[in-house]
Amino acid sequence: MKSLNPFDYLGLDSSTITEMLNEWGCQVDEPTVKHYMYIGIPVFLLCFCVVRILAHFIGKRRKINRWRREKIEEKLGREFGMFIDNHSNFWYRLWYYFVGKKARNIFIETKFQVNPPHDKEDPKENSFTEPPHNLIDFYIKKVLVKDNKPGFLYCVLGGSGMGKTTFSVNLIKRYYYAHTEKDLPYDIFLLSLSNETVMQDIQRIAEPQKSILILDALDENTDAVRDYAAFISQLEDAVSHFRIVIVTCRTQFFANEESEPNRSKLTYYSKGLSFQEYTRHYITIFDDDDIENYIRQRFGLNKKKRRSARHIVDKCSSVLVRPLLLSYIDDLVGSPSLETFFTCDIYSALIDKWIVREVNFWETKKQRIMPELKSQLYEFSEKLALEIFTNRESTGGLFTTANDFDVFLKQNNYTGPYSYSGRSLVNRDSAGNCKFAHKSFLEYFLALQMFKNNVMIPFEGMDMVKAFYHELCMKEFSSLVHQNKVGSAYYGKTSVLIINDVDGYKLEHLNVVDIWRVIMISWGAATDRFIDWLMTNHQMERLVVFNYNGAGTLKKILKLHHLKSLFILGDDVPSNNFVRKIENKVDIFDWKHDSKRVSLTSKDIETIMQKIEISHLLSNKKSVIRVINQHLN
């Protein structure tokens, strides 16, 4: 009986294949063909099976991912569409996955604690009263599961810009990517309570008993702001049949810790009738690792931008712990003047971004443009900072009580966005007292009051006020130098201030820049306001008046009792009468100034300073008179 080989079952004959290959010009014998058939065909069949299996699993995976994308787009598309990507082009998706996703969809894991934060000035000390936990992982593994028995009402609380909406959106995404269509425990919905039709949207959900409901931004609901007790009662009735309900809200929306959601009107049976309670979770701020993680994700391999971002963070790390404020770092990084950025520039940019965000919210809510709101919010913040600081001894801290805050709002006719329960820079502590989200915001606004309105703020215990005020004066001085209104120079260790124009700024700010012992001023700028300032500037010893033309009188300079030397340059010299009146008070020297230049050059300054130094070596009046009427070279 003839034995069969495996190829007989496949209809393959080695002799036939050999003849065919020889006809095609391949000179091979039958044993060689058999050898390769025994090796090659099994390998081919094995590869074919592997490819088929991989294709099956890849197809299945693609189907699952397509289902996930469709569900995420379905849940987020209407109100949260900016958090999803709707492009279907393959190459765009490839770019988005490797590049665009990192640039546009940065997400640092949200962390939480169960106990409310302490009421300390530094947010870093407030949040870490206990080790923080990953909020999304906790909800995915402990809450949004079938065997979750205890309760169904949850409340996620956090300050302004802490990432409550970002948490809600990413919880939806992570929930779908943790399950497939077959093992999905419940359907899930995300609705914004700021939407006026939210109650109707809740009622339209078909099977609430099998659904998870996330309600974002309780503090943005108009009815909740008007009458919280009535609204929360209505809301609890509407969600009573849902399997799990998660509500997010700003912490400062509630008057104090006791007012935060606790016991609801809903009941359940567990050894008797009991009221359902809210499980509260508090979002914590970013720690140093989170900030570094954000910088690495945002700027990738760009070492220059990463270095610039860290430079900014070093200047105000305790403020950039809020995710929203940290996201504004993009507007600062890459600026050509970054290395010369003052800390006040960073705070100004952060506060401006924050206020613009609040203005946009109110304009959207009111459906009209509110052009004055931005400046009014700045004015409100500055007035409130001064109010809190003025009353710090009576209140016992840098805050205002809820009652005093209401009085402040009524006295200044502030409503809507100015309430601490609204969208200003003001938060409340657990006792209901109102204060700025960070002490440095208060200090920045106090420095602005000093700079703009000459409000006197003692620097004891307020180091940042002093630093901000100094930087604001330095910024103004740099601008005045650029406009050629003022200038400065150093002759040896002596600092020299050159003033060409006194309009458009406060002369008191010049005292912050340096200690000016020698001041040079154009005669046209030597106004009464300038003389009044000089009378309080007791550090100044020598005054140089240039471009003197004989017009007007120099008698007002007689008031400067602390003046040691006076130099007058110009086309004319003071009258003998003036010289007689002043020579008993100060040493006076004058000489002709050939140039009609309004401002002095560095060579002029050097020549003048040389003559000033020489004149002080001369001890008697006769030797002083020798320099009168000499010309500058």
CA distance 500 to 628: 24
What is the arithmetic mean of pLDDT over 112-122?
68
What is the per-residue pLDDT for 527?
Answer: 86
Q: Are 316 and 336 in contact (CB under 8 A)?
A: no
Greater confidence (71 vs 627) lies with 71
For residue 629, is pLDDT > 50? Answer: no
Higher pLDDT, 177 or 554: 177
Q: What is the CATH number of domain 483-625?
A: 3.40.50
Candidate ranges 83-87, 108-112, 431-435, 507-511; pick with highest mean pLDDT:
507-511
pLDDT tens for each residue of 3-34: 455 555 556 666 777 777 777 777 777 777 77
Q: Which among 28, 590, 102 has a CA at the least distance from the CA of 300?
A: 102
pLDDT at 476: 92
Once rounded to an integer, what is the mean pLDDT over residues 341-361?
79
Q: Can you tell me whether residue 453 is helix, strand or coil?
A: helix
Token look-up 């890459």 returns: 334
Name which CATH class applies to 111-283.
alpha beta
Residues whose CB falls within 8 Å of the CB of residue 53, separated by 6 or more in sequence, listed in order: none
Above 60 in pLDDT, residue 490? Answer: yes
Residue 499: burial class (beta carbons within 10 Å; 0-12, 13-18, 19+): buried
pLDDT confidence of residue 625: 31
Q: Regarding predicted confidence, which is higher, 349 or 615? A: 349
The ranges assigned to domains in the chain are 6-61, 111-283, 286-341, 342-477, 483-625
For the residues 322-343, what does the mean pLDDT come to?
A: 66
Q: Are 342 and 477 in contact (CB under 8 A)?
A: no
What's the pLDDT score for residue 95?
44
Q: Are 404 and 448 in contact (CB under 8 A)?
A: no
pLDDT on residue 509: 92
Q: What is the identity of the amino acid at 574?
A: P
What is the reported pLDDT for 98? Answer: 47
Least confident of 276-290, 310-324, 462-476, 615-629: 615-629
Q: Which residue has the higher pLDDT, 621 or 473?
A: 473
248 pLDDT higher than 90: yes
Contact 191, 213 (CB under 8 A): yes
Mean predicted lDDT score pLDDT of the chain: 77
Rounded to whole angstroms, how far apart are CA atoms 222 and 76? 22
Helix (H) or strand (E) holding 428: strand 426-428
Instruction: Flag whether pLDDT at 156 surpasses 90.
Output: yes
Residue 472 has pLDDT above 70, yes or no: yes
CB 191, CB 214: distance < 8 Å: yes
Q: 190 phi and psi, to 5 degrees?
A: -125, 120
pLDDT at 213 over 90: yes
Q: Do domains 111-283 and 483-625 have the same CATH topology?
A: yes
pLDDT in tens, 411-456: 888 766 655 455 457 777 666 778 887 777 888 899 999 998 888 8
Q: For residue 112, what are the CA distances in angstroms to 115, 132, 429?
A: 9, 5, 18
Q: Annotate 348-412 with three-state secondary structure.
A: HHHHHHHHHHHHHHHHHHHCCCCCCHHHHHHHHHHHHHHHHHHCHHHHCCCCECHHHHHHHHHHC
The pLDDT confidence band at residue 188, using thresholds 50, 70 and 90, is: very high
473 pLDDT above the threshold of 50: yes
pLDDT of residue 225: 77
| DSSP 8-state assignment for residue 557 | G
Higher pLDDT, 330 or 424: 330
pLDDT of residue 155: 93
To which residue do tokens 């070596």 refer?
617
The answer, yes or no, to whether residue 466 has pLDDT greater than 50, is yes
Q: How far, in Å, CA of 313 to CA of 320, rounded?
A: 7
In this predicted model, what pLDDT tens digit does every residue of 61-102 receive, in sequence order?
A: 888 888 888 888 888 866 665 455 544 444 444 444 444 444
Helix (H) or strand (E) holding 434: strand 434-436
Q: Of residues 222 and 125, which shows the higher confidence score?
A: 222
What pLDDT shows up at residue 630? 35
The predicted model scores a pTM of: 0.62
pLDDT of residue 557: 76
With 0-12 / 13-18 / 19 or more C-beta atoms within 10 angstroms meaning exposed / middle / buried, residue 581 is: middle
Position 166 scores a pLDDT of 86
Pairing of strands 211-216, 273-277: unpaired
Residue identified by tokens 């471009």 is 547
Give the model confidence (pLDDT) of 585-619 as tens digits.
Answer: 566 666 555 555 566 777 777 777 776 666 655 44
Determine the pLDDT at residue 11.
60
DSSP H stretches of helix in 240-329:
288-299, 303-315, 323-327
Please state, in angstroms and rounded to a whole number, the distance separating the CA atoms of residues 592 and 191.
81
Q: What is the pLDDT of residue 139?
A: 92
State mean pLDDT over 395-409: 83
Q: For residue 621, is pLDDT > 70?
A: no
Q: What pLDDT shows up at residue 86?
A: 47
Confidence of residue 235 (pLDDT cuts 50, 70, 90): very high
Instruction: Give the whole-angstrom CA distance, residue 434 versus residue 171.
Output: 31
Is the CB of residue 429 less than 8 Å from the CB of residue 119? yes
Higher model confidence: residue 555 or residue 60? 60
